[in-house]
Amino acid sequence: MNACDLAATFGTANPRLVAQTAVAEIWRVEQADGTPAALKRWHRPEMGNEGGGIALAEAVAGQGMVQVLARGENSVLMEWLEGPPLGDLVRSGDDEAATIALAATAHRLHGVRLSRPVQLSSLRRWYRALFELRFTAEARPLTRSLMREAATLALKLLESQTTQRPLHGDLHHDNIHRTARGDIAFDAKGLLGDPAFEYANAFRNPVGAEALMRHPATIRARADIFATTCGVPRQRLLQWAATKCALSIAWRAEGRLTRDRELDLLAQLLRMARDG
């Protein structure tokens, strides 16, 4: 089905492609009253690991998260988020303001009473790729050591979860837009687990601020702000950050790891997690 036909099935028109990724395409479309909306279609017949995120967004009903207007098997119509991402604040030099806004968004989402029950993937299942990772013969001893340390730490964190709640699961600066109705998150994965995990991916974002996110002062400042907001010890936040970095490395390796561009960041996060 072409874009025009797909748009028509949702009662919209004039699709304009605005993003294309390895898993989906997104168009800006016009609703019957002329209001813009975002139309997303996955390449596969289903939504894959983002299906839980769409279900969570429906249950959140627009409270700090993008509103779902309609959905199909592998497509969804959502409100159009007009406004810049929080990542622009970081890239323009105000990481503190962006971090405070991200923390506030997460705190708001965690306080929402869901309008319906939703089935969400557990964090333990989410981390499976890290636990099943293997190494090629060319992988350096340090690479193996770092990833094994992260896997051991992840298991410790999973086994020590005392509170589990619905999570966005991929909350970072470029997944929050500053709109007329406030800071709004989108592209949720929809997970169930430790609320402290929610902040983990922010430590390795946004794109375009790679040097900044690796600086110990930035990592400490972000951890302090998140700890104050969510009431979780800074060390646990840094531990989740390190294991999420390792998980992303494992995903990119697709089962067998030789090297990765974020191994230096992983080493830094593990070092700071040990120190607390």
The answer to whether residues 104 and 69 belong to one domain is no
pLDDT band at 49 (very low <50, low <70, confident <90, very high): confident
What residue numbers bound the domain in which 241 lies?
86-275
Q: Is 95 a catalytic residue?
A: no
User: What global pTM score does this model have?
Assistant: 0.94
Q: How far is CA 67 from CA 48, 50, 60, 186, 246, in A?
A: 20, 15, 8, 9, 31
Please tell me the total count of domains within the chain. 2
Active-site annotation holder among 5, 95, 170, 194: 170
Cβ density class 110-133: b for 16+ within 10 Å, e for less = bebeeeeebebbebeebbebbeeb
Asked if residue 51 and residue 181 are part of one domain, the reply reads: no
Q: Where are the beta strands (DSSP E) in 66-221?
A: 68-71, 75-79, 121-122, 134-135, 165-167, 176-179, 182-185, 191-193
**Domain shared by 162 and 71, yes or no:** no
**Does residue 26 contact residue 76 with C-beta atoms inside 8 Å?**
no
Whether residues 59 and 117 share a domain: the answer is: no
- The pLDDT tens digits of the residues spanning 161-174 come to 999 999 999 999 99
Least confident among 146-150, 165-169, 227-231: 227-231
Q: Is the pLDDT of residue 1 over 80?
A: no
